[in-house]
A = this chain, B = another copy of it.
Amino acid sequence: MTQQGILIVLSGPSGTGKGTICQELLRSYPNLHYSISATTRPPRAGEINGVNYWFTSKDEFQRMIHDDDLLEWAEVYGNYYGTPCRYVKELLDSGRDVVLEIDTQGAMQVRGKFPQGVFVYIVPPSLEELAKRIHKRGTDTEESIKRRLSCATLEMNQVYSYNYVVVNDEVSNAVHKIEAIITAEKCNVLRNGHLIQQICKINPKE
């Protein structure tokens, strides 16, 4: 029997670099799959169904909400976004690991439905460093940087609802730590009941 894969949920304040970490993880860890979100917003030029999103009608999305087929969902400016359970469950059951990069509200919805998930919160080395990174990106006004930083401080109080905290000082360090977390979680006693039973069984042929 294959051990069920691990669902890793990554969150963290905006600007922390969790997108880059996620891409790096997917590149270096072939058993890891990215969970594709479903959305009711129309595809933009170049976006492909089943690659960027599962593009879904409003009726279909509402049916998924009604049937409890979503790990988490939210409505943003009149469009729905969410994570369909079925796709994630199929991957996990086949022993593959799945990563979900979502905000804290989404993560807490997932936690309620799938407590055996592994919840990782990415933080910058310091708020000063976060400010520098947002400055460097050059897309925010001073006002918006200040707003982002005070949001980050508030958001970081959510860290205690996660299992692990990973500092993004260097992307390669953060990726190494998340890989270690996946390896360790696969050794968690609570995930290995079947293995232990199997080992304790003496083969009748011997």
Which residues does A use to contact B, with CB under 8 Å?
120-121, 123-128, 131, 149, 153, 156, 159-160, 162-167, 176-177, 179-181, 183-185, 187-189, 192, 195-196, 198-203, 206
Known: A177-B187, A187-B181. A124 touches B199 (CB 8 A): yes
A121 cross-chain contacts in B, Cβ below 8 A: 189
Q: Are B196 and A165 in contact (CB under 8 A)?
A: yes
**Residues of B close to A185: CB separation below 8 A:** 184
The 4 closest A-B pairs by CB, nearest first: A184-B184, A180-B183, A180-B180, A164-B187
> Residue on B with the closest CB to A153?
B200
Given contacts A181-B187, A184-B180, contact A127 B200 (CB under 8 A): yes
Which residues on the B side are within 8 Å of A153 (C-beta)?
200, 202
Is the CB–CB distance between B199 and A126 below 8 Å?
yes
How many protomers of this protein does the assembly include? 2
In the assembled complex, the CB of A204 is this many whole angstroms from the nearest CB of chain B, namely: 11
* Residue in B closest to A190 when the chains form the complex, CB atoms: B160
Asked if A163 and B177 make an inter-chain contact with CB atoms under 8 angstroms apart, the answer reads no
Q: How far is the CA of A164 from the CA of B176 in the complex (A)?
A: 20
Using Cβ atoms and an 8 Å threshold, which residues of chain B touch A164?
184, 187-189
Contact A163 B188 (CB under 8 A): yes
Q: Are B126 and A165 in contact (CB under 8 A)?
A: no
Partner of A160, one of B163, B181, B189, B202: B189
Shortest distance between the CB of A129 and any CB in chain B (Å):
9
Q: Which of B127, B163, B176, B200 contacts A199 (CB 8 A)?
A: B127
A167 CB contacts on chain B under 8 angstroms: 195, 199
Q: Shortest Cβ distance from A158 into chain B, in angstroms?
A: 11
CB-nearest residue of chain B to A196: B159
Chain B residues contacting A156 (CB-CB under 8 Å) are: 196, 199-200
Report B-chain residues with C-beta under 8 Å of the C-beta of A183: 176-177, 180-181, 184
Q: A187 to chain B: which residues have CB within 8 Å?
A: 120, 164-166, 177, 180-181
